[in-house]
């Protein structure tokens, strides 16, 4: 049956799962890469280099980092919505390719034709990058169907928001996933808001980990700001799915620091709430503090990591600024495949 973890108390849990030095440093690196990349993207948006919608992942870095650490890179499939930059960076897609897609250039991951919300990589088994809220849940279930059909042992990880969790196709997918015991892990990134609507105002029940109950899908609520807890829960969920027991739901309690997209009046929440999360729960600061107190690295060594990441991000931004726009002939390519 479904079970729950008491996520909000995770910080004070005594037997919380620990990371070794390598894991701490790897998590720190990946989360910082996402943070710095997204800050840069926000800046470039402000400069008019990025158009349309641009949904930043700042604050939620621990979720995709912990889950991806628990997955088999290049084998397990991942799919998400439009808040997708972090997923790609942590999965190992080229930062310059992501940034150049944000600016709509030829060197972007979709050749400039997709934009912020639509990037993909078959090599990394990343299936987007989806603009329609909830669509990725059925699609991710389909990736799991293919995995079972082919018997390739891979797991599909489908991320979606608290807002998306109310779409009908989520429950249609849950039913099929359990009916056929498909190897899929549903990761609900509950950042408390869907645009300006808080979870309390949109949802009859707000414990999303229990949304699979009537389909007999186990679920856990996880402190999504602590990458160790995310990783620990994800290992359990992925193992469950890979061993043929069917779907698993992880509700990650997380928070986005920035607005929904770049233009967001943010009147629906208080400054205090945002500040509190940033100061007391920041996923990167948590790892950093542990690294220093455990003496996994010195301040200087962490600075060095930061410097390297800044260089990567700067290089990506430069590339994305100077790379040419796609050739005009690209307007007419990739519509259908001529057999």
Ligand X SMILES: Cc1ncc(C[n+]2csc(CCOP(=O)(O)OP(=O)(O)O)c2C)c(N)n1
Q: Is residue 132 a contact point for ligand X (CB under 6 A)?
A: yes
CB of 10 to other proteins, least distance (A): 28
Q: Is residue 260 a contact point for ligand X (CB under 6 A)?
A: yes
Q: Is residue 179 a contact point for ligand X (CB under 6 A)?
A: no
Out of 137, 194, 252, 309, the residue judged to bind ligand X by CB under 6 A: 194
DSSP one-letter code for 121: B
Helix orientation angle between 299-322 and 95-102, rounded to the nearest 10 degrees: 50
* Gyration radius from the chain CA atoms: 19
Contact present, 257 and 83 (Cβ < 8 Å): no
Beta bridge partners, 78, equal 126, 157
Cα–Cα distance for residue pair 206/189, rounded to 1 Å: 13
Contacts to other proteins from residues 207-266, by CB under 8 A = none
Q: Is residue 102 a contact point for Mg ion (CB under 5 A)?
A: no
Q: What is the dihedral of CA 70, 71, 73, 74, to 10 degrees?
A: 180
Say which residues have a Cβ less than 8 Å from residue 69's Cβ, sequence separation at least 6: 23, 26, 27, 227, 231, 234
Between 258 and 288, name the residue whose CB sits nearer to Mg ion: 258
Dihedral angle sign, alpha carbons of residues 278, 284, 287, 293: negative
Q: Which among Mg ion, other proteins, ligand X, none contacts residue 17 (Cβ within 5 to 8 A by kind)?
A: none
Q: Is residue 266 a contact point for ligand X (CB under 6 A)?
A: no
Cα–Cα distance for residue pair 69/20, rounded to 1 Å: 13
* Stretch of 6-14, 38-46, 161-169, 200-208 contacting Mg ion, by CB under 5 A: 161-169
CB of 161 to ligand X, least distance (A): 2
Between 114 and 161, name the residue whose CB sits nearer to ligand X: 161
Q: Is residue 321 a contact point for other proteins (CB under 8 A)?
A: no
Q: How many of the chain's residues bind other proteins (CB under 8 A)?
A: 40
Q: Is residue 194 a contact point for Mg ion (CB under 5 A)?
A: yes
Q: Which residues bind other proteins (CB under 8 A)?
A: 51-53, 101, 104-105, 110, 112-118, 130-134, 163-164, 166-168, 194-197, 201-203, 267-268, 325-326, 328, 330-332, 335
């Amino acid at each position: 049956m479904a079970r729950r973890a008491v996520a909000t108390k995770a910080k004070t849990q005594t037997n919380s799962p620990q990371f070794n030095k390598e894991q701490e440093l790897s998590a720190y690196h990946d989360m910082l890469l996402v943070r710095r990349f997204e800050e840069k993207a926000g800046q470039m948006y402000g400069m008019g280099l990025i158009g349309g919608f641009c949904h930043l992942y700042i604050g939620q870095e621990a979720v995709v980092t912990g889950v991806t650490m628990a997955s088999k890179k290049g084998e397990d499939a991942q799919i998400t919505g439009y808040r997708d930059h972090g997923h790609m960076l942590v999965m190992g897609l080229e930062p310059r390719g992501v940034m150049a897609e944000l600016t709509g250039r030829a060197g972007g991951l979709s050749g400039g034709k997709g934009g912020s919300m639509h990037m993909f990589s078959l090599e990394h088994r990343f299936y987007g990058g989806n603009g329609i809220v909830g669509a990725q849940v059925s699609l991710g279930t389909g990736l799991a169907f293919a995995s079972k059909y082919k018997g390739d042992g891979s797991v599909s990880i489908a991320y979606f928001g608290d807002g998306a969790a109310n779409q009908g196709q989520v429950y249609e997918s849950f039913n099929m996933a359990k009916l056929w015991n498909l190897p899929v892990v549903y990761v609900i990134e509950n950042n408390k808001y869907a645009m300006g609507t808080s979870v309390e105002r949109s949802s009859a029940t707000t414990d999303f980990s229990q949304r699979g109950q009537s389909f007999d899908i186990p679920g856990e609520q996880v402190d999504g700001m602590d990458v160790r807890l995310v990783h620990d829960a994800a290992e359990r969920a992925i193992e469950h799915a890979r061993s043929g027991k069917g779907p698993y739901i992880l509700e990650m309690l997380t928070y986005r620091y920035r607005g929904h997209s770049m233009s967001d009046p943010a009147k629906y929440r208080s400054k205090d709430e945002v500040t509190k999360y940033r100061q007391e729960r920041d996923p990167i600061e948590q790892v950093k503090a542990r690294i220093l107190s455990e003496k996994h690295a010195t301040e200087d060594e962490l600075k060095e990591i930061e410097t390297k990441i800044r260089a990567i991000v700067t290089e990506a931004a430069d590339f994305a600024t100077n790379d040419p726009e796609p050739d005009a002939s690209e307007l007419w390519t990739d519509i259908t495949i001529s057999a």
